[in-house]
Amino acid sequence: MKVAVKCRGVTKTYGEEEETLVHALRGVDLEVNMGELLMIVGPSGCGKTTLLSIISGILRHDEGECHVLDHDLNKMDEVGKTSFRKENIGFIFQALHLIPSLNAMENASLPLILQGIEPEEAYSKAEEMLAKVGLEKRKHALPSHLSGGEQQRVAICRGCIHNPKLIVCDEPTSTLDHQTGMKVMQLFRDIVIEEGKALIVVTHDSRIYEFADRILQMDDGHILGPLPTRPSTGQKSR
């Protein structure tokens, strides 16, 4: 099976003075395959979001190696890295960064517009994605007129719409009710199964564990290993 992400001995430290250094990642080893939905769980501040940011090319790691879709992002210049991310990686982070002056459909279609897709085609695809998360009737609403959960669903559509090979998600269901959260996770599950994408989800939400192929625990900048027991509250599609 083709490897999407391969990290070996990855470290990340914040700060300059010895007494104030924060060791966010301490020699992380990680491998994620295409066609896999991986969840990473652990307490706040254990390094989960830092690891996601390094995998997605937003942060540079200090030591070790991290190859994403056969590319070493630390060796790419910023222009090359930006182009690579735009074409290959979908982002769904807690900070949603929706553009206030654009409606839900326009926000969701942005990755396609940035790739040069004609607006009419991009908006049509955005409408399809919004319908999958129950927002077909809210497509013309501005972010200020959307609830937190609705904004999150728009961000999820935006992160998936451009057919990325790798999708990285930081707490994608944190603002969603149970029913909507299950609908979103089933959408992710279908994307992984039907399209062979790799998807990494950082979460505290034990309700969605059933959708994962693997669940890894993190603490204090280390990956401790797989979760010993995985709660099962339903059946994921296969």
| pLDDT above 70 (res 237) | no
Q: Are 159 and 112 in contact (CB under 8 A)?
A: no
Report the residue count for the chain.
238
Residue 17, burial from CB neighbour count under 10 angstroms (0-12, 13-18, 19+): exposed
Determine the pLDDT at residue 229: 44
Could you tell me which of 143, 149, 189, 150 has the C-alpha nearest to residue 167?
Answer: 189
User: Tell me: the pLDDT tens digits for 167-224?
Assistant: 999 999 888 889 888 988 998 999 898 889 999 999 999 999 999 999 999 999 999 9
Q: Are 174 and 96 in contact (CB under 8 A)?
A: no
Task: Report the run of H or E that residue 61 belongs to, with start and end.
Answer: none
Could you tell me which of 159, 72, 141 has the C-alpha nearest to residue 102?
Answer: 141
Rounded to whole angstroms, how far apart are CA atoms 168 and 199?
A: 6
Average of per-residue pLDDT values in the chain: 91
User: Tell me: the pLDDT tens digits for 110-165?
Assistant: 999 988 999 999 999 999 999 988 999 999 999 999 998 899 899 999 999 999 99
Rounded to whole angstroms, how far apart are CA atoms 118 and 31?
A: 36
Average pLDDT, stretch 37-62? 95
User: Long-range contacts made by residues 21-28, C-beta under 8 angstroms, separation at least 24?
Assistant: 23/221, 24/50, 24/221, 25/50, 25/51, 25/54, 25/61, 25/221, 26/220, 26/221, 26/222, 27/64, 27/222, 28/64, 28/221, 28/222, 28/223
Rounded to whole angstroms, how far apart are CA atoms 132 and 185?
A: 11
Rounded to 10°, the helix 148-160/178-195 angle is 0
Task: Report the run of H or E that residue 110 belongs to, with start and end.
Answer: helix 104-114
Task: Report the run of H or E that residue 3 belongs to, with start and end.
Answer: strand 3-14
Strand-pairing partners, residue 39, are 201, 215
Tell me the two tokens of residue 36: 């896999």
| pLDDT above 90 (res 40) | yes
pLDDT over 90, % of the chain: 74
Going along the chain from its start, the domains and CATH numbers come out as: 1-94+165-229 (3.40.50.300), 100-163 (no CATH)
